[in-house]
Amino acid sequence: MSRTTSQYRNGVKVSENHGAGEWKAERLSALILVPLTLWGLWAAATLSGGGYDGALAWFRSPVNAALLAVTLVATLWHMQMGVKVIVEDYIHKAGTLKLLLGLNTLICLLLALASVFFIARLALGSAPLPAGLGA
């Protein structure tokens, strides 16, 4: 987003023609998350009372593991876009803006990678944490 090439008419900033695509992506991620959230609520209700062994058995189902991974990645994608809009709207200093947008993307990417990694470990029957990190 270039701050030096912004144009104004009658004191109002003219569109830079990139907001519509971002708006559509946010709505798409929200639409994807509606059924996934309903599935997540159903899965949580199903898991309640099953104990540790029941949870491990649930994770070993490829469908459950895949849907959980998709849900987490879609949620983090949606969150990243939402935080990006907030930062762009309220941070006007170019250096700070770039730093915060970079941190937002990096944190969401790292969380997505870690989430998928640990879901895969559970689905494949491995210990939930790497050796030495468990209690």
Question: Cα–Cα distance between 117 and 119 in angstroms, integer?
Answer: 6
Does some domain include residue 74? Answer: yes
Q: Over the stretch 80-121, which tens digit does the pLDDT of each residue have?
A: 999 999 999 999 899 999 999 999 999 999 999 999 999 998
Q: How many other C-beta atoms are found inside a 10 Å radius of the C-beta of residue 59? A: 21
Residue 32, pLDDT above cutoff 80: yes
Res 2: pLDDT:
46
Does some domain include residue 112? Answer: yes
The band of 128, judged by pLDDT with boundaries at 50, 70 and 90, is low
Q: What percent of the chain has pLDDT over 90?
A: 62
Does some domain include residue 47? Answer: yes
Helix (H) or strand (E) holding 9: strand 8-9
Q: Which of 128, 111, 120 is nearest to 74 (CA)?
A: 111
- Mark 9-20 as b/e (b = at least 16 C-beta within 10 Å): eeeeeeeeeeee
Q: Phi and psi (nearest 5°) for 48?
A: -60, 130
Structural domain range at position 64: 20-123
Does some domain include residue 135? Answer: no
Question: The domain that contains 111 carries what CATH number?
Answer: 1.20.1300.10
* pTM tops 0.75, yes or no: yes
Task: Give the number of domains in the chain.
Answer: 1
